[in-house]
């Protein structure tokens, strides 16, 4: 046994050493020394396991020499227990791992059309091929339940009927139950801890990352299978060149849902207050065309815009709609949106995809969303100061948000094994505004003011992207171009403004317009040498930004005052060019990827108030390495390391004051380029056993960063003023996370467990004093859903978290904040057409006066031939407030959020086509 363990460990070491030597031969000599040091650091995080295992590979053909699709299992001789299983791939190959100690093992090949075939072999790694005489597998007449999960190569197939119950209306309800799959509150889907990179319906990406439209509208009864495509590379021309460890989801529809136009509608009304809800959803899925068009509106607390979130995107220049100005209002509480969301929402989207050929597609996606949102809350902000005093700010705020958002995207795409072309155009416009009226109190400097805030924040952007990849035998060529423009003319008005240490001010208005143009061009060449892929790229990028701001004071005499110190007109231009080298090595069980980008940066700043011109030139080197080893076919260990460097932007370059919100003034006091250097190392262990519905993911990470400037705040009463000192500062942190998903076949359910810990150390600047800050966050969560009987289902979850933030030497001033949450949902199906559910939630926080909040809801559903009736009863206990607390650096934040009252909503769903 010791010799076997030594042999395996030695094999891993030799494999990695040979890989590194081959990669180094292809690199420029100037990079070798730095890369060797980097590889050694990364290897420190790579765990080496010595395991005894037998690997059986082989091929399955019929007597005609044709490849056969079959299930292959391995078991110890004399045992009925299956030790491992797999399926043959498209060319009849398979690979199995056996970890037992039996002298002999049995390899079994079976399938409906080929019968059952076995071979007994010695327990050692070998190739076992099968040439079989096809004949149907004869079984006695019986009722056979479909297998919940089946695996074929890198594809997992979840049988929807095995997880669906009567209360599951859309496919998103089923996705939340599947072992290995998680769906968070924002609708983002992860598989075994990693976000999916594509969401297909019948192998077509209709929605371009906005898959919430599908998960919240496609009926569960229309889907036969949910496929997980592991290690999915969306660009076929890069399939064997660029490895992906992300998965994709593909929905396989039932025949009745294909080639048929389906239109469903909903109408609902209720009280308190007067409530309404309306929906119209049209769907068409065929081989050459797909369409999903929806309208949704309500004032009953449902977030219709949540379906429009983009969870993945193609590579492009992206214009961020966010601005520099904001209205001060409390954060949203960490509970279900329908508890507090007072809205009047309307949202419509049209998504259409044409197949112009076997591999060519044209997609058009358009949406419009408008909303009027009301919020009412109380908050207490406590900022701890170095002299042991506390700045307290109490705010009682009523706010409204008006949202108008329109977007359109057109994409023409060719995706074959040898050619990839992507043409894409995106246009987006927002016309949003925020209003807030509230009372601000502070004992720190005896402030008691009623303050009105108004923010206009329109935004417009457009971007175009062209991408080309061409494969020629073992070589490939690519070209990429993307350009975009964005404009954000924002303005913030605050009344009164006498807390600016002037008693004659009635208002302050901040104007801020940010214009941004960016473009990227890249050409690349790649070649394949045996098992090594080497890619080389030359690229350039230009970012042209202009920030034009002015802060005006309005006196009680209605006179406008400003000064150069309250203005900015700055151009911040970044020009980059670089050479990128990517090397990858891949075998059946081992993968290594090494990226070596070298970038030449030119930063040009032209400040016109007052005039100041600066030019900085920086050469940056950002190597990264990823290693992955498949130990058993089910267990994969991997590690990655990265060195990164970033430089300041326009937000760290302007020198005139900007009123970010009514109690925050920003400016930069140093003409020095802000620089951040960081190093990170991560390691992970991923286990997946589809046969036993077991999925495990464990990871750990460490990061260290160094900044050449330290930013902080000085507090002048309730007003915080940004300040900077010329001092290098270091920070570091590490984290550990774990998750487990286990399907419960005997109860048709899923058990989920997860937990995490993070620790951060850094320095912060408060009142010109440097403080040593520490943060520790713990979290744990467990959930289980199962069906006791065919008519009774339970879904229970329990979550716990603890937050400890403090300054070294003053830990007693920062007691730990602990939170606990529980939820229970019970579903009952009395008949095939009549069902009910009741659910409750309990939330606890140890740092508030009212430490707990409890919610309860209930619902009834009745199905008829023509329509479905749904009755919702929300907030049965009529809870008025949600109260919570949290830390941010060395400040504490307590808030009380007003909730929606007890309500009843009657809905009717009916099918128009």
pLDDT at 444 over 60: yes
Nearest to 31 by CA among 429, 583, 454, 401: 583
How confident is the model at residue 453, as a pLDDT? 95
Closest CA to 606 of 653, 574, 570: 570
532-570 burial by CB neighbour count: b if 16+ within 10 A, else e?
bbbbbbebebbbbbbbbbbbbbbeeeeeeeeeeebbbbb
| Domain over 54-136 is classified CATH 2.60.40.10 | yes
User: Beta strand pairing status for 104-111 and 71-76?
Assistant: antiparallel
**pLDDT reading at 48 higher than 50:** no
Q: What would the mean pLDDT of 652-681 be, rounded to a whole number?
A: 92
Mean pLDDT of 234-248: 89
pLDDT band at 46 (very low <50, low <70, confident <90, very high): very low
Q: What is the pLDDT of residues 314-352, one digit of tens each?
A: 899 999 988 899 998 877 888 889 999 999 999 999 999
| pLDDT above 90: residue 862 | yes
Q: What are the helix and strand counts (H, E) for the chain?
A: 4, 50
Q: What is the DSSP letter of 815?
A: P
DSSP code string of 490-536: EEEEEE--GGGT-TTEEEEEEEEEEEEEEEEEEEEEEEEETTEEEEE
φ and ψ of 212, to 5 deg: -60, -25
Domain coordinates in residue numbering, the chain? 1-52, 54-136, 675-703+732-913
Predicted confidence band of residue 146 (pLDDT cuts 50, 70, 90): low
Residue 784 has pLDDT above 50, yes or no: yes
With 60 as the cut, is the pLDDT of residue 543 above it?
yes
Task: Kindly state the percentage of the chain with pLDDT values over 70.
Answer: 91
258 has a pLDDT exceeding 80: yes
788 pLDDT exceeds 90?
no
pLDDT over 80 at 6, yes or no: no
Q: Is 15 helix (H, G, I), strand (E, B) or coil?
A: helix
| pLDDT value of residue 21 | 52
What is the predicted pLDDT for the residue at 494? 94
Residue 832: how many other CB atoms lie within 10 Å: 9
| Mean predicted confidence (pLDDT) in 474-489 | 95
Mean pLDDT, the chain, as a whole number? 88
Q: Does residue 272 carry a pLDDT above 90?
A: no
| Tens-digit pLDDT profile for residues 447-465 | 888 999 999 999 999 999 9
User: Residue 139: is its pLDDT beyond 80?
Assistant: no
Specify the range with the lowest mean pLDDT, choosing from 20-34, 48-62, 502-516: 20-34
Instruction: With beta carbons less than 8 A apart as the criterion, state whether 855 and 877 touch.
Output: yes
* pLDDT score of 846 more than 60: yes
Give 496-529 pLDDT, tens digit per residue: 886 667 778 889 999 999 999 999 999 999 998 8
User: Tens digits of per-residue pLDDT, 280-307?
Assistant: 999 999 989 999 999 999 999 999 999 9
Which pLDDT does position 397 carry in this prediction? 93
Residue 38 has pLDDT above 70, yes or no: no
705 touches 676 (CB < 8 A)? yes
Kindly state the average pLDDT of the residues 605-634: 92
Average confidence (pLDDT) over 746-755: 88
675-703+732-913 and 54-136 share a CATH fold = no
The predicted-structure confidence for 684-734, as pLDDT tens digits, reads as follows: 999 988 888 899 999 999 999 999 999 999 988 888 899 999 999 999 999
- Dihedrals φ, ψ of 38, to 5°? -65, -40
Q: What is the pLDDT of residues 77-122, one digit of tens each?
A: 877 667 777 878 777 888 888 877 788 889 988 876 677 888 888 8
Express each pLDDT in 177-212 by its tens digit: 999 999 998 899 999 889 999 999 999 999 999 999
Q: Which CATH architecture has domain 675-703+732-913?
A: Beta Barrel (2.40)
Whether the per-residue pLDDT at 138 is higher than 80: the answer is no
């Amino acid at each position: 046994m010791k010799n076997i363990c030594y042999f395996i460990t030695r094999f891993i070491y030799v494999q990695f050493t040979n890989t590194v030597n081959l990669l180094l031969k292809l690199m420029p000599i100037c990079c070798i020394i730095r890369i060797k040091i980097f590889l050694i650091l990364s290897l420190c995080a790579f765990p080496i396991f010595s395991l005894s295992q037998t690997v059986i590979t082989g091929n399955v053909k019929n007597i005609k020499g044709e490849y056969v699709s079959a299930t292959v299992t391995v078991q110890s001789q004399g045992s009925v227990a299956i030790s491992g299983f797999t399926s043959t791939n498209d060319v009849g190959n398979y690979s199995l791992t056996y970890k037992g100690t039996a002298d002999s093992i049995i390899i079994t090949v079976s399938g409906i059309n080929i019968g059952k075939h076995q071979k007994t072999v010695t327990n050692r790694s070998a190739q076992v091929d099968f040439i079989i005489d096809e004949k149907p597998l004869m079984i006695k007449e019986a009722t056979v339940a479909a297998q919940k999960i089946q695996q074929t190569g890198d594809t997992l197939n979840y049988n929807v009927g095995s997880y669906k119950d009567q209360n599951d209306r859309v496919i998103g309800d089923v996705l939340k139950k599947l072992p290995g799959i998680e769906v968070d509150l924002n609708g983002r889907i992860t598989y075994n801890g990693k976000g999916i990179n594509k969401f297909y319906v019948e192998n077509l990406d209709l929605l371009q990352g906005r898959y919430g439209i599908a998960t919240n509208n496609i009926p569960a009864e229309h889907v036969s299978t949910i496929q997980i495509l592991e290690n999915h590379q969306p660009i076929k021309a890069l399939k064997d060149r660029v490895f992906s460890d992300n998965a994709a989801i593909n929905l396989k529809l039932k025949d009745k849902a294909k080639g048929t136009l389906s239109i469903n509608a909903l109408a609902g009304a209720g009280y308190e207050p007067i409530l309404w809800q309306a929906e119209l959803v049209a769907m068409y899925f065929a081989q050459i065309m797909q369409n999903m068009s929806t309208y949704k509106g309500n004032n009953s607390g449902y977030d219709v815009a949540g379906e429009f979130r983009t969870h993945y995107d193609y590579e492009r220049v992206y214009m961020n709609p966010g601005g520099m100005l904001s209205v001060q209002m409390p954060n949203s509480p960490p509970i279900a949106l329908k508890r507090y969301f007072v809205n009047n929402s309307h949202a419509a989207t049209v998504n259409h995809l044409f197949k112009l050929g076997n591999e060519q597609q044209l997609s058009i996606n358009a949406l419009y969303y408008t909303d009027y949102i009301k919020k009412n809350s109380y908050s207490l902000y406590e900022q701890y100061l170095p002299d042991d005093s506390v700045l307290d700010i109490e705010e009682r705020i009523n706010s409204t948000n008006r949202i108008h958002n329109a977007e359109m995207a057109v994409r023409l795409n060719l995706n074959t094994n040898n050619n990839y072309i992507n043409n894409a155009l995106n246009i987006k416009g927002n016309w949003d505004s925020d209003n807030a009226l509230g009372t601000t109190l502070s004992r720190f400097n005896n402030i008691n003011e009623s303050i009105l805030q108004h923010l206009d924040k329109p935004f417009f952007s457009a971007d175009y992207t062209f991408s080309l990849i061409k494969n020629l035998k073992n070589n490939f060529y690519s070209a990429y171009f993307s350009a975009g423009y964005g404009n954000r003319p924002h303005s913030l008005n605050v009344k009164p403004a006498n807390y600016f240490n002037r008693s004659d001010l009635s208002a302050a208005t901040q104007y801020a317009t940010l214009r941004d143009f960016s473009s990227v061009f890249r050409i690349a060449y790649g070649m394949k040498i045996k098992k090594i892929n080497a890619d080389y790229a030359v690229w350039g990028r230009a970012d042209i930004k202009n920030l034009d701001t002015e802060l005006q004071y309005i006196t009680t005499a209605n006179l406008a005052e400003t000064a150069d110190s309250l203005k900015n007109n700055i151009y911040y231009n970044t020009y980059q060019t670089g050479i990128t080298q990517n090397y990858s090595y891949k075998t059946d069980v081992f993968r290594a990827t090494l990226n070596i980008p070298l970038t030449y940066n030119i930063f040009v700043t032209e400040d016109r108030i007052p005039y100041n011109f600066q030019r900085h030139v920086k050469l940056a080197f950002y190597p990264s390495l990823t290693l992955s080893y498949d130990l058993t076919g089910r267990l994969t260990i991997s590690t990655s390391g990265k060195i990164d460097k970033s430089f300041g932007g326009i937000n760290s370059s302007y020198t005139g004051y900007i009123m970010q919100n009514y109690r925050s003034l920003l400016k930069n006091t140093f003409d020095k380029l802000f620089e951040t250097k960081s190093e990170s190392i991560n390691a992970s262990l991923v286990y997946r056993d589809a046969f036993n519905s077991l999925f495990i993911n464990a990871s750990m990470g460490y990061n260290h960063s160094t900044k050449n400037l330290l930013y902080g705040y000085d507090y002048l009463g309730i007003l915080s003023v940004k300040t900077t000192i010329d001092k290098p500062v270091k920070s570091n942190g590490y984290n550990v996370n774990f998750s487990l998903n286990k399907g419960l076949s005997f109860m048709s359910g899923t058990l989920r467990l997860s937990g995490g810990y993070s620790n951060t150390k850094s320095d912060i600047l408060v009142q010109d004093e440097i403080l040593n800050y520490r943060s520790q966050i713990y979290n744990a969560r467990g959930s289980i859903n199962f069906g006791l009987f065919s008519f009774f289902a339970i879904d229970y979850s329990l979550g716990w978290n603890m937050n400890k933030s403090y300054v070294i030497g003053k830990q007693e001033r920062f007691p730990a904040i602990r939170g606990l949450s529980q939820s229970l949902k019970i579903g009952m199906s009395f008949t095939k057409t009549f069902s009910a559910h009741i659910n409750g939630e309990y939330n606890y926080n140890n740092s508030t006066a009212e430490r707990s909040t409890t919610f309860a809801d209930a619902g009834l559903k009745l199905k008829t031939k023509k329509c479905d009736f749904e009755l919702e009863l929300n907030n049965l206990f009529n809870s008025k407030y949600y109260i919570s607390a949290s830390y941010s650096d060395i400040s504490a934040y307590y808030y009380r959020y007003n909730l929606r009252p007890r309500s009843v909503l009657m809905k009717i769903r009916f099918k128009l086509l």
